[in-house]
């Protein structure tokens, strides 16, 4: 008997048909003699739609109210899955974050799980009932509903797996595992059988959406083994675990992120303490800076650029409108169409020449690099977002990551995927 937590993402529960397919899959697990807890995301694009509704009535919705609203998406899908299981003659019970005992801190919109009270889930399992848990949500010390940040159902699944001592946390999505890069933009991406927590964490933090980085962080901390796999097939996926026995490639994967913008402050006086003043003010206004670039100064002044999430732009502008006259800088430019491409791999630590090959590859293909940052296991470059796909494909080839065959699943349309699902594959 294996104790499994199985998480199904938005695409996997996007319609009643797909929910029924998830129910069938859970039934098969039970038939195999396994015990299973399901965790679900909201159906399809529900979370985006709820966000749109909130913004339609309030362009700056208070975080507490927004969480209350967003949490309803998962409450619909969990109930439908429980109903579907019951209709098949299985016993199931849905649980909100609160009912599942997911306790978080009070940081609305991106709360962290601090405790998992596992009693109700364990009791349900004991009674041969399939617990269906709403992902993405918890409850803070005030009893208020919190959400865990976009993609947060992954973190719910890992936390529940840890909380009940599951053997594995299976994350089902529309791809059949973790690839060397997003298979939707590079058809020659290769599926990895295994990947270490450290490489996965770096890929997720650099924008590879397949797993939420908090989920990987949690799994690494508590040693939860994640199996990322397809909701549409039985093929084995990718195991994320400590030190897998894989060939030590220099680069494990490439991530891209188009959610950031680049802000440049022109003609900043080159004086002691100016940068501190600018960045303290930005930080105080909750602008989440990523890369920072200061050019060499000419005539006693320099340009300073930084990247930050596009969603922080209004706050960045507000702060700089006050700071620029104070420090005597000229103006602010914003470039919205940028992409950050990151090469990731623990193998990079012991391999010189990664940057040289990356820069040469982009340079020879006329792709301009606007900013660079590095860590021991990551090299990130900012480029024009229009070049994202070409840059990822060129780097993927240059670093010898290409598979011999084209990834056919990515060529399927949404309708074809739906047809595959209907066949129960």
- Which of 61, 138, 151, 163 binds Mg ion (CB under 5 A)? It is 151
Q: Which is nearer to Mg ion, 151 or 207 (CB)?
A: 151
Candidate ranges 6-14, 122-130, 357-365, 406-414; the one touching Mg ion (CB under 5 A): 6-14
Question: Quick check: 368 and 385 in contact, CB under 8 A?
Answer: no
CB of 10 to ligand ASP, least distance (A): 5
Closest to 103 in 3D by CA, of 163, 61, 168: 163
Q: 170, 28 in Cβ contact below 8 A?
A: no
**Which residues contact ligand ADP (rule: CB under 6 A)?**
9-12, 41, 151, 173-175, 178-179, 181-184, 208-210, 253
Cβ atoms 4, 96 nearer than 8 A: no
Please report whether residue 152 would count as binding Mg ion according to CB under 5 A: no
Least Cα distance to 137 among 122, 153, 115, 124 occurs for 153
CB of 231 to ligand ASP, least distance (A): 13
* 366 φ/ψ sector (left φ>0, alpha ψ -120 to 50, else beta): left
Phi-psi region at 63: left, alpha or beta (left = phi > 0; alpha = psi -120 to 50): alpha
**CA-CA-CA-CA torsion sign (190, 405, 168, 92):** positive
Q: How far is the CB of 207 from ligand ADP (least distance, A)?
A: 8
- Contact partner at residue 208 from Mg ion, ligand ADP, ligand ASP, none, CB < 5 to 8 Å by partner kind: ligand ADP
Binding site for ligand ASP (CB under 6 A): 9-10, 41-42, 47, 73, 135-136, 150-154
Q: Which two tokens stand for residue 89?
A: 């003659």
- Complex with ligand ASP: residue 211 or 249, whichever CB lies closer: 211
What gap in Å lies between CA 100 and CA 120, rounded to an integer? 6
| Interface map 8-27 toward Mg ion (x if CB under 5 A) | -x------------------
Give least dist CB 46 to ligand ADP, A.
11
Q: Is 73 in the site for Mg ion (CB under 5 A)?
A: no
| Least distance from ligand ASP to the Cβ atom of residue 20, Å | 20
385-to-367, 369, 399, 410 alpha-carbon distances in Å: 10, 11, 21, 21
Nearer to Mg ion, 211 or 382 (CB): 211
Rounded to whole angstroms, how far apart are CA atoms 261 and 88?
49
Is residue 89 classed exposed, middle or buried when 0-12, 13-18 and 19+ CB atoms within 10 A define those classes? exposed
Closer residue to ligand ASP, CB minimum distance, 152 or 253: 152
Q: Which is nearer to Mg ion, 101 or 151 (CB)?
A: 151
The interface partner of residue 47, options being ligand ASP, Mg ion, ligand ADP, none and the CB cut-off 5 to 8 Å by kind, is: ligand ASP
Residues of this chain that interact with Mg ion (CB under 5 A) are 9, 151
């Amino acid at each position: 008997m294996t104790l499994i937590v199985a998480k199904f993402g938005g695409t996997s529960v996007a319609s009643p048909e797909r929910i029924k397919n998830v129910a069938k899959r859970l039934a098969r697990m039970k038939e195999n003699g396994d015990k299973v807890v399901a965790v679900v995301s909201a159906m399809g694009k529900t979370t985006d739609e709820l966000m749109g509704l909130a913004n339609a009535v309030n362009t700056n919705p208070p975080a507490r109210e927004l969480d209350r609203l967003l949490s309803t998406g998962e409450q619909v899908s969990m109930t439908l899955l429980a109903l579907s299981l019951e209709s098949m003659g299985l016993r199931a019970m849905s649980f909100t974050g609160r009912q599942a005992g997911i306790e978080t801190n009070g940081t609305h919109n991106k709360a962290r799980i601090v405790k998992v009270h596992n009693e109700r889930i364990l009791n349900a399992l004991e009674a041969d009932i399939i617990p269906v848990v709403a992902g993405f949500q918890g409850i803070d010390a005030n009893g208020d509903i919190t959400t865990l940040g976009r993609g947060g159902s992954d973190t719910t699944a890992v936390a529940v797996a840890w909380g009940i001592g599951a053997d594995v946390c299976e994350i089902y999505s529309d791809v059949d595992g973790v690839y060397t890069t997003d298979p939707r933009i590079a058809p020659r991406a290769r599926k990895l059988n295994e990947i270490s927590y450290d490489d996965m964490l770096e890929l997720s933090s650099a924008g590879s959406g397949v797993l939420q980085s908090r989920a990987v962080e949690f799994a690494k901390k508590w040693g939860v083994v994640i199996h990322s796999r397809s909701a549409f097939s039985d093929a084995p996926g990718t195991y994320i675990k400590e030190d897998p026995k894989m060939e030590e490639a220099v680069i494990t994967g490439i991530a891209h992120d188009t959610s950031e913008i680049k802000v440049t402050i022109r003609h900043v006086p080159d004086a002691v303490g100016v940068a501190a003043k600018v960045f303290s003010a930005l930080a105080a206004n909750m602008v989440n800076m990523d890369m920072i670039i200061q050019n060499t100064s000419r005539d006693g002044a320099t340009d300073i650029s930084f990247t930050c999430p596009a969603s922080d732009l209004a706050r960045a502008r507000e702060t700089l409108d006050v700071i620029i006259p104070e420090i005597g800088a000229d103006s602010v430019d914003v470039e919205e169409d940028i992409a950050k491409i990151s090469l990731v791999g623990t193998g990079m630590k012991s391999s010189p020449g990664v940057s040289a090959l990356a820069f040469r590859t982009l340079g020879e293909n006329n792709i301009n690099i606007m900013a660079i940052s590095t860590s021991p296991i990551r090299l990130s470059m900012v480029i024009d977002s229009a070049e994202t796909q070409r840059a990822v494909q060129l780097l993927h080839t240059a670093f010898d990551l290409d598979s011999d065959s084209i990834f056919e699943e990515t060529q399927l349309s949404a309708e074809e995927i739906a047809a595959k699902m209907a066949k129960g594959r």
